[in-house]
Structure 1
């Protein structure tokens, strides 16, 4: 079995320190190589309580410091025990985040030796290959401009229409769709490529033969029973 990187994106969950620690300890006991992105307020607490766990943030500012109310700097993440950050998640678009801003955040993270987990993908389901590739080309021309092809980062194919918490979701992307993206991406970059979008124990088996390097897991990562099934399935890949 090849090693797969699993990253748990807890989004705005859990709601208190006790539940957060309990879930994190459960995941760490299950599989020590699961990276966890909890709400930022719990980052330092988990780092102190579970020193071996790889922790990160769900977003960060493109600015190093200054008068930016409500923002989280890369230094804050690092000083709280975070070693990676999820950037460009489709749910951030509702706050006006652009690909240009995400590119600035990638650069800021890399300058601090924080590993960026860069999400990309189309907003709406498209069947036409030319239309899809035009959309993807447009994204990468901005996202990865001025980023070294040897940079330490992970890319995530995360089409917004496939995310389980998105209104009107179509479920996880069809295997052929992900394969198409992988082929297109590999012609341009060698960054490790993950998939995110309605990942759970029911959808995961269909991805067994795809040449992916891991998965970004959302709501399913909040359920230990689901994560136990996911880890078991991946061990059989």
Structure 2
């Protein structure tokens, strides 16, 4: 049976000392939670310290990276490979986040290359998809989701649905304070599950975790997690504070 997923994406925030301090407090807060997969995604420079802190505490917390380059090594100044992420002890990686797509111009094809290499390495990708506000207003939400899934998952080989997490993050609701309603989130995620069933099969689609992200906070989280097609939450700003994330 699939486990609920709770992930915190810190983006470009928290120094190494701040990361360690957070994990020490956070681990104590979640020490009795055993039925949820909890993951934190700090900056690259904090990956190894975060992993070591989790190990020292014996905490059941996954550590993941926020991005990766699809090549194992090379002349790519400022980039980090999946091999480097693994060597730091991280187990997961965010791929296709809207800020990578729209600020850094990453194409569906480039994202697909990242996905394929991450899975080959044994990293679990959190594959982000979602539409912009103008696309939703133009009734193109399903078209955008279908394109991002089709191109992103092209030639992706999985042996188990546990090897991938899909995060639906409507761009217009990320860091804006504007929330998708639980009904909007459920509608989109139900459509995603239908597409996954067509791509693989119904059983695979039922077991694959599809999570929601986009201005998730303590107020709207309880209304989101009761929806049948929301298998977890991918949290941004609210995950920066131990109290609001627990």
User: Which band: TM-score by shorter chain?
Assistant: 0.7 to 0.9
Report the equivalent of 1:142: 151
| 1:102-138 alpha-carbon deviations (Å, 9 max, x no partner) | 1100001011100010000101252565x22222212
Q: What runs of 5+ residues in structure 2 fail to find an aligned partner? A: 32-36, 197-204
Q: How does 1:218-237 map to 2 (within 5 A)?
A: 218-228=236-246
Q: Does 1:42 align with 2:46?
A: yes
Counterpart secondary structure, 2:133: coil
CA contact (8 A) 2:93 2:123 kept: yes
Counterpart secondary structure, 1:50: helix
Q: Distance in 1 between matches of 2:177 and 2:50?
A: 34
Report the equivalent of 2:169: 158
Q: Distance in 2 between matches of 1:63 and 1:11?
A: 22
Report the equivalent of 1:232: none
Report the equivalent of 1:113: 122
Report the equivalent of 1:217: 235
CA contact (8 A) 1:161 1:170 kept: no
Q: Distance in 2 between matches of 1:206 and 1:127?
A: 24
TM-score (norm 1): 0.87
Report the equivalent of 2:28: 29
Size of the aligned set, in residue pairs, is 221
Q: Does 1:186 align with 2:203?
A: no
CA contact (8 A) 2:225 2:231 kept: no
Report the equivalent of 1:97: 106
Q: CA RMSD in A?
A: 1.7
CA contact (8 A) 2:128 2:167 kept: yes
**Whose helix proportion is higher, 1 or 2?**
2
Q: Does 1:55 align with 2:73?
A: no
CA contact (8 A) 1:87 1:116 kept: yes
| 1:12-68 alpha-carbon deviations (Å, 9 max, x no partner) | 111x22211011122222225421111010111121222143111000001111111
CA contact (8 A) 1:60 1:73 kept: yes
CA contact (8 A) 2:225 2:232 kept: no
CA contact (8 A) 1:27 1:34 kept: no
Report the equivalent of 2:201: none
Q: Distance in 2 between matches of 1:106 and 1:158?
A: 17
Q: Distance in 1 between matches of 2:130 and 2:218?
A: 22
CA contact (8 A) 2:116 2:157 kept: no
Counterpart secondary structure, 1:85: strand
Q: Distance in 2 between matches of 1:201 and 1:139?
A: 29
